[in-house]
């Protein structure tokens, strides 16, 4: 397939957060909820949250489904997704049950993004080893699918309750490799592409879209006939009314990320702001500058869902809210996204109706 740049035209617009506001845990959760509610007001189609255990500066949320239950009560129609649950560390049946309950409480708005995990030290307290994460992820994913399909579980007359067959159609797999893309495609799941895509050894300058086009190719080739592709591309984008202000706010966060990368033993060259922007695949500035930058990313011409985050710039909360507004009003429409009005969005059904339909 030719990778010549083409017009970006995502079907859905997403907001992504790792809950990294520089404040207390409780305040982090309050601010993230406000950001998601603001994204809904601006017309965003979905909101995605990450799961991280133990490491405050890597991610602020170990319990994504608990948090999304709170968000669901404070929003009306925005879809709520995990990006991702580290399934290799989880009890798969508990994930299946919690997700089933949350989907009912949210009126059927839940999207389930899954990954195998990437922080080696986080596995140890769970009595696990990162070297076996692939095997653990595959086993747990099979259990999850089995439970949601309504099949018999071990023991006498055990089936998942409440039933949640619909969630098998809302699974997404995150991956950094063409092999992972092929697995997601063969299963008919959605494909999640991260802005933190690592480069192969010795190829630190390889463009992000070159790497991710290979994953998209593998995904589409493996996708069964008749199954509609779902491809989510996540990108760092900080949009400001003032370009100089955007760079000033970006300098601190990107320097912190560069220092953290070096401390972790990662090879990282360059110490200027522009070198950090290039190394961490950041799009920032005014709306026009961000639009021009994103249009050079050929992988985004192939996504169905485009999700924006401000990490690892992590500006103060008011700037995040303003960036959300500018993305919805200027950036995303220029990329081909069309805002849906509330009348075009399926309203959540009252819980008693969901329960009645499921138990008939």
Tens digits of per-residue pLDDT, 31-87? 999 999 999 999 999 999 999 999 888 888 999 999 999 999 999 999 999 999 999
Q: Do residues 290 and 331 touch, judged by C-beta distance below 8 A?
A: yes
What are the angstrom distances between the C-alpha of 12 and each of 90, 230, 287, 345? Answer: 29, 10, 19, 12
Summary mean pLDDT of the chain? 91
DSSP 132-157: GHHHHHHHHHHHHHHHHTTPPBTTTT
Q: Scanning the structure block, which residue is given the tokens 């389930």?
A: 112
Confidence band, pLDDT 50/70/90 cuts, at residue 343: low
| Alpha carbons 62 and 85: distance in angstroms, whole number | 9
Question: Domain boundaries in the chain?
Answer: 12-359
Tens digits of per-residue pLDDT, 153-171? 988 789 999 999 999 999 9
Tens digits of per-residue pLDDT, 175-211? 999 999 999 999 999 999 998 888 888 787 899 999 9
DSSP 330: I
Neighbours of 253 (CB within 10 A): 22
Confidence band, pLDDT 50/70/90 cuts, at residue 358: very low
Nearest residue to 48 via CA among 234, 238, 312, 324 = 234
DSSP 328: I
| Alpha carbons 304 and 10: distance in angstroms, whole number | 5
Lowest mean pLDDT of 189-193, 222-226, 354-358, name the range. Answer: 354-358
DSSP 158: B
What share of the chain in percent tops pLDDT 90?
A: 78
Backbone angles phi, psi at 148, to 5 degrees: -65, -25
Backbone angles phi, psi at 302, to 5 degrees: -115, 0
| Alpha carbons 68 and 66: distance in angstroms, whole number | 6
Span 12-359 CATH architecture: Alpha-Beta Barrel (3.20)
β-bridge mates for residue 47, sequence order: 15, 80
Sign of CA dihedral 334, 170, 235, 208: negative
Mapped onto helix, strand or coil, the DSSP state of residue 359 is helix
Check residue 56 and give its pLDDT: 86
Alpha-helical runs (H) found in 235-308: 243-263, 273-279, 287-294
| Alpha carbons 146 and 125: distance in angstroms, whole number | 27
Check residue 290 and give its pLDDT: 98
């Amino acid at each position: 397939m030719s990778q010549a740049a083409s017009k970006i035209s995502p079907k859905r617009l997403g907001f992504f957060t790792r809950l990294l506001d520089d404040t207390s845990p409780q305040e982090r959760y309050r601010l993230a909820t406000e950001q998601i509610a603001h994204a809904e007001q601006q017309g965003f189609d979905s909101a995605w949250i990450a799961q991280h255990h133990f490491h405050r500066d890597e991610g602020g949320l170990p319990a994504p489904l608990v948090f999304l239950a709170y968000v669901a009560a404070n929003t009306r129609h925005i879809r709520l997704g995990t990006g991702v649950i580290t399934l290799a560390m989880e009890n798969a049946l508990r994930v299946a049950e919690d997700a089933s309950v949350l989907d009912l409480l949210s009126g059927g708005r839940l999207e389930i993004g899954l990954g195998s995990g990437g922080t080696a030290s986080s596995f140890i307290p769970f009595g696990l080893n990162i070297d076996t994460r692939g095997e653990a992820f595959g086993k747990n994913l099979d259990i999850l699918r089995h439970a949601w399909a309504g099949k018999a579980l071990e023991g006498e007359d055990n089936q998942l309750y409440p039933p949640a067959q619909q969630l098998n159609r809302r699974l997404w797999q995150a991956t950094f490799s063409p092999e992972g893309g092929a697995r997601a495609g063969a299963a008919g799941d959605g494909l999640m592409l991260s802005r933190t895509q690592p480069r192969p050894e010795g190829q630190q300058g390889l463009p992000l879209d070159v790497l991710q086009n290979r994953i998209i190719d593998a995904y589409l080739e493996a996708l069964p006939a008749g199954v509609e592709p779902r491809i989510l591309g996540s990108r760092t984008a900080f949009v400001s009314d003032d370009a100089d202000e955007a760079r000033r706010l970006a300098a601190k966060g990107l320097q912190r990320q560069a220092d953290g990368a070096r401390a972790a033993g990662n090879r990282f060259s360059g110490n200027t702001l522009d070198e950090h922007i290039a190394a961490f695949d950041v799009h920032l500035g005014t709306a026009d500058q961000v639009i021009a930058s994103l249009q050079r990313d050929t992988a985004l011409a192939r996504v169905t869902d485009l999700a924006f985050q401000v990490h690892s710039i992590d500006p103060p909360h008011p700037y995040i809210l303003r960036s959300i507004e500018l993305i919805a009003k200027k950036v995303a429409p220029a990329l081909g996204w069309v805002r849906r009005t509330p009348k075009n969005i399926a309203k959540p059904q009252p819980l008693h109706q969901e329960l009645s339909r499921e138990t008939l």
